[in-house]
Structure 1
């Protein structure tokens, strides 16, 4: 919680520094999230939602500062298919395991306008974990038709993951109109998402068998300025 207040304090500090009335706005789009491979070698990217609010603070005609508060869905997924033919019937077992990591993120973006409409941006992003769940879906198919033996389970893993995440973002955007535009951004994680915890025998270890993992996210979406 202290780190969340720190991130919000950085947002407020940008207003005081610029001493210029900002333009507020809303933004939303998709996350294509993944986790670094250490211990997640078979994991693939997972698509999620990203959306929130921002304030764009012009410092000059070419430079501006844009703090944001976003809800961001991250994580990864693993999919497997096993098949066999018995007495002329084809049996398939399809399984999908998803790791859903939800964050409140506070990016602080520094924007440079190459033209009045086009800009590039870079800056840090601070993330605060709100939810961590593993979801498993297993379905059996016979000759291409799903059977009733499907299972769907969910497990809360928040205690296994660090509550704080930090990364660096690089992106670009284009104002289609003075109030509406599109934006794309890549965020590379710096911090380990796994949490140091104690086993039942009292020994301290890292989750995920001692591996270190980082969130990596590609974002794309639209925004609207008031």
Structure 2
């Protein structure tokens, strides 16, 4: 898995000269939710509440300038929402995040994330027939601080653009009187710890 992520990252950024590459492990907790758009009944979304989850994987980051670096992450994430059926959405996701150091040991980050839905479950079992959109596309934005040369702590917000329920299905299930496509979009607030296990200098 580490070699796959490394290769993809290097291919994406092959035109950039790196000063240093770091790689390691990450893990943490998050609060996730499902935001509903184009639906006129507020009682439906009131039944949805934040759900605690976990995430973890590997990361690779490369310095491309004095205060700029690129970071790529491949991770597992358990998202969903505390609704009537207690929805659990299990994703494998890949992100590519430009980062900028705005102060000593502090970085801001912003970039795209692509997730693949491995499974969707509830207290009633498999609900993949309803939560049926396999691909989730969104944006990450956050800040990181380097606690030491080996440990970094970060907080990040994820906002999904895709509907986790297929567009056609979502209109039929809820019978939206406006005729607009209803979207069920992932959101998550993440707290992560990064452990750097290796680095490569090119200077």
Alignment partner, residue 185 of structure 1: 156
Distance change >3 Å, CA 42–CA 64, structure 1 → 2: same
Partner residue of 1:51 out of 56, 62, 73: 56
Residue 111 of structure 2 corresponds to: 123
Matched, 1:158 2:99: no
TM-score (norm 1): 0.72
CA–CA distance in structure 2, aligned partners of residues 17 and 26 of structure 1:
26
Matched pairs, number? 179
Q: Which runs of 5+ in 1 are unaligned?
A: 79-95, 136-153, 197-203
**Is 1:172 aligned with 2:137?**
no
Match of 2:65 among 60, 66, 80: 60
User: Based on CA coordinates, which of the two structures has the bigger radius of gyration?
Assistant: 1
1:23-50 Cα deviation digits (max 9, x unpaired)? 1111100120000135443110000001
What is the CA RMSD across the aligned residues, in angstroms? 2.3
Query: Could you say which residue in structure 1 is the equivalent of 2:200?
Result: none
**Per residue, is there more strand in 1 or in 2?**
1
**Matches of 1:75 and 1:30, distance apart in 2:** 13
> How far is 1:97 from its partner?
3.2
TM-score, scaled to structure 2: 0.80
Q: Which runs of no fewer than 5 residues in structure 2 stay unpaired?
A: 176-181, 198-203
Corresponding residue for residue 18 of structure 1: 16
CA positional deviation for 1:117 = 0.6
CA deviations 1:80-111 (Å, max 9, x no partner) are xxxxxxxxxxxxxxxx6310001001111110
Change over 3 Å in CA distance of 1:46–1:118 after alignment to 2:
same
